[in-house]
Structure formats: structure tokens, C-alpha cells
């Protein structure tokens, strides 16, 4: 057992059912600059891994030990502060060990370092926040659909082009705004899905008030509107992300030129 304890790079300790620390691995001791004599025999929640943290965390660990002593595996994420003020994230679990009769006789406490995971999560949240800001402030309509073409999301600019609310656009509701080019748009969309290529089309949308807005979706270089495929890790298309750009003024000028 000693070889197992000292061979791991994460915290692992053996407790009695009252939460008194009986064994602890060397790596965990090095993390707080403690010796085994200084921590063995102490209540686990009063050891240096937790005593520099808010009292709420120590209470949470104490309560987890009480629950584990009844036979429940308890697991949660903890964010302790160490003696050197280092703030770490740990996936902490308290696992009951039972004798042949099913009585809990010992507990194993394990703390797995999840700092990298948390950093990734924080980076992802920051990226998502920047994306939401970009989507909200973009001068074009931005939308996402599943593989069948059902709308999953559309930003405010896209809603304004359609003159509709999110509830009216989600699913297949977006199709109600396409007029009178609906058959042509549907045919082009079906071709995109079957051939698994990018979709590009110029068509009209009409608001409930009767206002006609021309939009353009394109897969050209530096397009003013684009619909691109979203793929999973296996390369399968799972949906589409696209933009709608108002080209109403462009179409008006074209018509004016043709009439001249």
C-alpha cells in the first residue's frame, strides 16, 4: 500500500470513519511542506491542505466524511488555498471501504489536480463571452441550424431582417419570412444538405408588415454573407452556421440602373 501511496502524483489519504487521517501520500505532503508526523492522527479537514481556506470548505469536507461513513461515495470540486497562498482546484472524493459484512471501516480521500481543466473552462467561457458580444454587435444576421435546417439560434440583426421574434423563427419558423423565393431557397438548401457543400443564394424576406428585405448568403472569398458547415470530430456535418446581410439598397440601385 505504501508504494501505491507514494507513487501517485495526487493527494490520496486513508481515514478512519471519524475522518482521522491514518495515511497520506508523499506528494501530498510535499505540496504543503508538511511531514507525516504533523498530519497523521488529525481530523482530515484540519490538515494543511484545507486550513488556509475559508471555513466553509472545511465544513464541506467534514460533512462529506460523515456522509461517506454511512456508505455514500461523496465527490465534489474544491478550491483550497495552500500555505504559500497558491489557489488550486481539486476534484475531491471520499470513498467508503466496507468489510465483508458491509460495514464501513475506512475511508479513502482522493484529490485530483484539475487546474488545467479549470483553466480550459475559464478560457472557453471567456471565448464564449467574446463570441456573444461579437454576435450581438455584428452588423449582419447570424444564425445556426441543425442538419435538417431547423433554426437553433439567430441574433437580433437577423430577427430585424425577418421582422420576427425568436419564437417565431426557431425551428422551421424562419421559412415563413422567405417570400416569394421560398421554393428556390428550399431547393438550394436541399442541394446543400445532399451534396454537403456550402450554401449561397440571394433571396427576399418579408416582414409581417409587408416590408421586403433582400439578403445574400455566399461562400465566396470575403463574402458578405456565408453559410458554413459545422462538423463533429468524425467530420460529419451536424449543422450550419451562417450570416444574412441586408442587400436591399444594393438591389434598389440595381433596379434603378436597369430602368435608366
Residue range 80-127, pLDDT digits in tens: 988 778 888 999 999 999 999 999 999 999 999 888 888 888 888 888
CATH class of 2-115: alpha beta
Average pLDDT over residues 116-144: 83
Domains 2-115 and 137-259 fall in the same CATH topology: yes
Query: CA-CA distances (angstroms) from residue 102 to 15, 69, 251?
Result: 17, 12, 79
Helices (H), 105-181: 115-137, 156-162, 166-169
Q: pLDDT of 59-81, one tens digit each? A: 999 999 999 999 999 999 999 98
Q: pLDDT of 34-43, one tens digit each? A: 999 999 999 9
The helix or strand, by DSSP H or E, that contains position 145, with its residue range, turns out to be: strand 141-146
Q: What CATH code is assigned to 137-259?
A: 3.30.450.20
Q: pLDDT of 151-168, one tens digit each? A: 989 999 999 999 999 999
**Which residue ranges make up each domain of the chain?**
2-115, 137-259
Query: CA-CA distances (angstroms) from residue 120 to 34, 77, 131, 233?
Result: 30, 15, 16, 18
State the CB neighbour count (10 A cutoff) for residue 104.
16
pLDDT of residue 167: 93
Contact 58, 79 (CB under 8 A): no
Amino acid at each position: 500500500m505504501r508504494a501505491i501511496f507514494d507513487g501517485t502524483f495526487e493527494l490520496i489519504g486513508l481515514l478512519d470513519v471519524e475522518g482521522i487521517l491514518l495515511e497520506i501520500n508523499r506528494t501530498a505532503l510535499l505540496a504543503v511542506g508538511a511531514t507525516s508526523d504533523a498530519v497523521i492522527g488529525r481530523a482530515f479537514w484540519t490538515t494543511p491542505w484545507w486550513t488556509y481556506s475559508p471555513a466553509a470548505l472545511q465544513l464541506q469536507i467534514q460533512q462529506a466524511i460523515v456522509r461517506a461513513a454511512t456508505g455514500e461515495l461523496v465527490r465534489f470540486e474544491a478550491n483550497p488555498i495552500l500555505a504559500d497562498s497558491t489557489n488550486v482546484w481539486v476534484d475531491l472524493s471520499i470513498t467508503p471501504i466496507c468489510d465483508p459484512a458491509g460495514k464501513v471501516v475506512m475511508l479513502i480521500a482522493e484529490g485530483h489536480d484539475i487546474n488545467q481543466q479549470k483553466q480550459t473552462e475559464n478560457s472557453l467561457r471567456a471565448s464564449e463571452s467574446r463570441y456573444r458580444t461579437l454576435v450581438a454587435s455584428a452588423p449582419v444576421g447570424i444564425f445556426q441550424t441543425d442538419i435538417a435546417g431547423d433554426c437553433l439560434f439567430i441574433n437580433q440583426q437577423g430577427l430585424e431582417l425577418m421582422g420576427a421574434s425568436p419564437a417565431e423563427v426557431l425551428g422551421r419558423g424562419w421559412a415563413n419570412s422567405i417570400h416569394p423565393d421560398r421554393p428556390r431557397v428550399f431547393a438550394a438548401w436541399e442541394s446543400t444538405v445532399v451534396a454537403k457543400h456550402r450554401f449561397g443564394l440571394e433571396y427576399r424576406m418579408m416582414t409581417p408588415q409587408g416590408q421586403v428585405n433582400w439578403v445574400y448568403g455566399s461562400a465566396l472569398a470575403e463574402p458578405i454573407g456565408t453559410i458554413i458547415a459545422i462538423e463533429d470530430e468524425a467530420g460529419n456535418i451536424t449543422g450550419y452556421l451562417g450570416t444574412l446581410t441586408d442587400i436591399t439598397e444594393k438591389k434598389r440601385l440595381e433596379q434603378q440602373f436597369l430602368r435608366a
